[in-house]
Amino acid sequence: MPGRLTGKVALITGATGGIGSATADLFAREGACLVIADLDAEALRALAVRLEAKGADVLAARLDVSSSESWDEAIELTRRRFGRLDVLVNVAGIVDWPGIEGTTRESWDRVIAVNQTGTWLGMKAAMPLLRASGNASIVNTSSVLGLVGSGAAAAYQASKGAVRLLTKTAAVEYATQGVRVNSVHPGVIATPMIQDLLDEQGDGQPDIVRTPMRRAGRPAEIAPAMLFLAGDESSFVTGTELVVDGGLTAY
């Protein structure tokens, strides 16, 4: 039987990270041709080898999401290799933990450049190919911290809140142009980005304590949300938030 993404070309940023690699694995199993994009060239090669060994058609593209030139190069490589693009999944992101007074201008600018500007640049660069698909989907990765406050991580929260509303305005703009745009909002997920924090604080990590399921999620538990929004089963879903957080925002 064909997979849920058979015939589709999907570009995933932050592809070597926890959520990115889990999403790439699932998309490959569901039949997608993949453009895996990240800054880490060595990790990209390793991921490409692993996916190709499973039979996937893979293009690895080194990408700095904060650079418009880098985005243009990645999209051109995609056009040359596959001639189309049907799915864009913006996963790449970084975190900075200080609050308002503890955040430096340098760290603020970097977080905004990657998480917020990088998401906008990706949509902007990919949109001509996505519109040409006629049945395309963009999945932007926000966070539960794009929905509620935490009293910390000021730059990260600002960027993820911006991703949420950027997603909505893009959804409205392209609703009649064959491009759906949605956001996924993970809770506490055991990814390399926060693993040190989880190792240090264990079950006493405050957000885990506040999570009704009392545990961190796994990247493989986020990937199916990406798959649903990327595929045709969500054909009437645009401009919405899909929260995957173990109940953290249910209170």
Active site residue 156: yes
CA distance 119 to 221: 22
Per residue in 118-138, is it b (16+ CB within 10 Å) or e — as a string?
bbbbbbebbbebbeebeebbb
Report which secondary-structure segment, H or E, holds 62.
Answer: strand 58-62
**Which residue is catalytic, options 156, 157, 160, 216?**
156
Provide the 10 A C-beta neighbour count for residue 212.
11
For residue 135, give the nearest of 179, 95, 166, 99 by alpha carbon.
179
Residue type, 77: L
The residues annotated with a catalytic role in the active site are 156
